[in-house]
Structure 1
Amino acid sequence: MNLPLPVAVGLWVAVGVVLLLLILGGRRRLTQRTGQLVPQPPAAPADLGAPRLGPLEATYVSTTLAGDWLARVGAHGLGDRAAATVTVHDAGVLVERAGAPTVFLPADALRGAGLAPGMAGKYVGADGLVVLTWLAPSDGRVRAVELDTGLRTRHPADKSRLVDAVRHLLAAPGEAADPLQKENP
Structure 2
Amino acid sequence: MERLIPALALLLVVVVVFLLMRRGWAQRTAAQAGVPAPARPLEGTPVIHGPVDGMYVATTAAGDPYDRIAVHGLGLRTSADVVVTDAGIVIDRAGTGDLLIPWADVTGVRSSQGMIGKFVEPDGLVVIGWTLGGTALESGFRTRAADARTPLITSIRRQIEED
Residues 12-31 of structure 1 mapped to structure 2, 5 A cutoff: 12-31=10-29
Unaligned 5+ segments in structure 2 are none
Q: Between Structure 1 and Structure 2, which shows a larger proportion of strand residues?
A: 2
Q: What is the aligned residue count? A: 163
Instruction: Determine the structure 1 residue equivalent to 2:102.
Output: 106
> CA-to-partner distance for each residue in 1:4-26, whole Å, 9 max, x for gaps?
34434322322221111111111
Partner secondary structure for residue 157 of structure 1: helix
Secondary structure of the structure 2 residue equivalent to 1:53 = strand
- The reply on whether 1:69 has 2:59 as its aligned counterpart is no
Report the counterpart of residue 119 of structure 2 in structure 1: 123
Counterpart in 2 of 1:10?
8
Cα distance in 1, alignment partners of residues 42 and 136 from structure 2: 21
For 2:97 and 2:19, the matched residues in 1 are separated by 24
After superposition, the C-alpha distances for 1:87-141 in whole angstroms (9 at most, x for unaligned) are 11111111111222322111221111110111122221411110001121x3xxx
Q: How many angstroms apart in 2 are the aligned matches of 1:168 and 1:125? A: 25
Deviation at 1:32? 1.3
TM-score (normalizing by structure 2): 0.91
Query: Which of the residues 37, 42, 48 maps onto 1:40?
Result: 37
Contact preservation (8 Å) 1:35, 1:76: no
**Is 1:170 equivalent to 2:160 in the alignment?**
yes
Amino acid at match of 1:170: I
Assess if the C-alpha contact under 8 Å between 1:35 and 1:74 holds in 2. no
Q: Distance in 2 between matches of 1:50 and 1:43?
A: 15
Match in the other structure for 2:128: 132
Identity over the aligned pairs, expressed in percent?
33
Larger Rg: 1
SS in 2 for 1:35: coil
